[in-house]
Structure formats: structure tokens, C-alpha cells
Copies of this chain bind each other. A is one copy, B any other.
Amino acid sequence: MGATKTDLFTKKQNEIAAMAKAIAHPARIAILQQLLKTNACVCGSLVEDLGLAQATISQHLKELKNVGLIHGTVEGTSVCYCINTKTWKQYQQLFADLFIDITDSQNCC
């Protein structure tokens, strides 16, 4: 017990859940918004901006990297992060597909 029973669900369902989990934390939302806003790679300045410890930020960045939403390139001692446009568009599409248009008539109770 305790672990999600992924074998009961379709590959797609597990995939959607994993993608949602990646953005299911305010720090990761904040990181993504910061990357969108500054357009460029803010790298380590995210630590000052967010107010979390360096180790914690690094952990969140790793998760975002794992699902491919961002990628980082080493620049000297610092690392530059930015949105992965391709994956970003996939997320856009996936959530649009999930929250498909629904008519009020479908509502039954």
C-alpha cells in the first residue's frame, strides 16, 4: 500500500497524472512563471526570488527537468534554465484535450 497502482490504468492516464504532478507544487509553478516572464534563463537567482533553500530549488528544478518541461545548460559555474518549447506545447495540447468542451446538457444531476 501507499504506492499508486499504475497497472490498473492506461498508459495515457498515468501520463496525464504524471504531467499534472509535475506542476502540482506552487514552487514549480513559480519557477515556470519566472522563466516565462524573464524570457531568459534566470538560473540561480531563482533561489533568491523564491525564498526556498538552494537544495530545495535544485530538487524542484530536477523534477521539472525530468518531465522535460525545462532544460539547463552549464555556463561557467552557474546553470542556465529555460522552458523546453516542444514539451511545453505538448502540455498545452494535453490539458486542452483533457478539459474538452462540455455542454451544460451533459450535466445530469
Contact = CB atoms under 8 A, between A and B. Distances in A.
A109 B78 CA distance: 13
Contact of A25 (B4, B28, B73, B109): B4
A80 B106 contact: no
Chain A contact patch, size range: 35 or more
B52 A30 contact: no
Interface in A79-94: 80-85, 88-89, 91-92
Given A17-B23, A23-B17, A30-B13, A91 B99 contact: yes
Nearest to A26: B9
A28 B17 CA distance: 8
Contact of A96 (B14, B21, B24, B96): B96
Given A24-B20, A82-B109, A13 B40 contact: no
Most buried by B among A33, A81, A99: A99
Nearest to A32: B98
Contacts of A84: 107
